[in-house]
Copies of this chain bind each other. A is one copy, B any other.
Amino acid sequence: MDDVEYLGLVASSLATLAFLPQVVKTWRSGSARDFSLATLLMLEAGTGLWMIYGVLRDAPAIWLGNGVTFALAGYILSVKVKGLPSRLGAPTEGSEPSAP
């Protein structure tokens, strides 16, 4: 692994760790309303393909980082999807007490 690949590892680490504070924030707030659904879906598709690219190129900086990002962004996507029904008028858990 040469020097350029190490630079890639730093870039990959930054981009990968970047999603950790986002997951913590989204975990606490339970809200991903400001996120675009299309954006999250395309990010998942994009990081998925980058993983394949990285494996074919034998470039750990690429497939490792994108694999973690794929997982973390997947969590944001799951929160976003869970929040969608309330936008369609369906009741949100705990938003209103109701008789059984």
From B22, B34, B36, B61, A31 is in contact (CB under 8 Å) with: B34
Q: How many copies of this chain does the complex contain?
A: 2
Q: Within 8 Å of chain B (Cβ to Cβ): is A71?
A: no
Point out the residues of chain B lying under 8 angstroms from A39, CB to CB. 18-19, 21-22, 25
Question: Looking at chain A's contact residues, is the secondary structure mostly helix, strand, loop, or mixed?
Answer: helix
Within 8 A of B (CB), among A28-45: 29, 31-36, 38-40, 42-43, 45
Give me 17 other A-B pairs in contact (C-beta within 8 A), A16-B46, A18-B40 excluded: A4-B56, A7-B49, A7-B53, A7-B56, A10-B49, A11-B46, A12-B50, A15-B43, A18-B42, A21-B38, A21-B39, A22-B35, A25-B36, A26-B34, A32-B34, A34-B35, A35-B35
Q: Within 8 Å of chain B (Cβ to Cβ): is A8?
A: yes
Q: Within 8 Å of chain B (Cβ to Cβ): is A84?
A: no
The CA-CA distance from A50 to B61 in the complex, in Å, is 10
